[in-house]
Chains A and B, each alone.
Chain A
C-alpha cells in the first residue's frame, strides 16, 4: 500500500515496541509482572501498583466493541462515514480504533460484538484496526 494521507503517529521511546509490533503483525501491549495487570497505553511503570517490573507481550488480538460513533465528516485520508470505536481487548485494556471490513451502520455495529485485530499499512507506519471476528482476512 502506498503512503497514506491519514494522520500518522510519531513513535516515542516508550511506545516503540507497540509500533514495531504492529509492523510485524502483532498487537503488543504491556503487563506488570508484580501484580499481573495488563495495561495500555505504553508507559514504563504499572499504573495499578507502580512497579517498574513490566513486560511486553503479544495479545490474542481479540476484542469486543465497547462503544463507537459513526463520523459523517471525513478526516484527511478517510472516506465518511466511518466508525471510530473504543474496543475492549480480551486481556482487559481498552483502546481507540476504527472498525473495518463492515458497513459502518448502527445495524451492523452492535455493542459487545466480537472483533479481531487487523493491521492497516500506512506506508512508514502500520496501525492496528479491528474487524468483526470470524471473517476471512482481506488481502
Chain B
C-alpha cells in the first residue's frame, strides 16, 4: 500500500469524519445563533419555488439511495429476496430520477443565485465553497451512474466502494477495495469527504435541524422567563461588574 493511498483512503477519511463530528458539536455549542438555513426566499421566490423543492426532495431521495446502496450489504438485500436484477433496475431508475431532480434543481438555484441581484449580494465566500463542493460531489455521482449505465458496463459499486465505506466506519479500512474502483467513484468519494469536512462550518448544518418534532409537539409553546437555558460554557461573563449601591 503506497503512502499516497494511505493518505487518500485512510488519513483523509478519518480527518474528515472527525471534523464532521467534532465540528458539529463545536458549532452547535458555539454558534446556535448562526445555525440557520439563511433562506433567500425574501429576495426572490419565483425561481426558488421550482428549484428549491426539486433540489431538496431530489437530494433526500439521493441520500435514501446511498443509505440503501452503501450501508446495507449486498448479502442482506439478497437474504431479503431482492434479486440482483431487481436491485439494479430500481437503483438505476431511482438514482437517475433523483439525480436529475437534484442537478436540475441545483442548476436553477445556482442560476438564480448568480442572476438575482440581492441573492448574489447575500452570497458569502463560505456559500461559494459549499456550492463548489456540493456541485462537484453531486455531479460526479450522477455522472458515474449515468455514464456507467449508458456504456452498458455499469460498475457494481456494491462489491468495492460500499464495503470499503463500511470498513471505514468499522475502523478497519480495506483500502485495497476502493483502490480497485473506477476513477469516477474515487473522485466522487474524495469530494464527498471534503464536503463532509466542510459541512459543519457551512449553512448545510440546517440538515440536522429537520423539524420532525413539529409533527407531535403542542401548537403553542409556553416558556417561563426562568426556564431560559444557561449561559454557554465558553463565554466569559459579559456582565459589567457593578459594585452594590
Q: Do the two chains belong together in a single complex?
A: no
Point out residues on B near A: beta carbons under 8 Å.
Answer: none
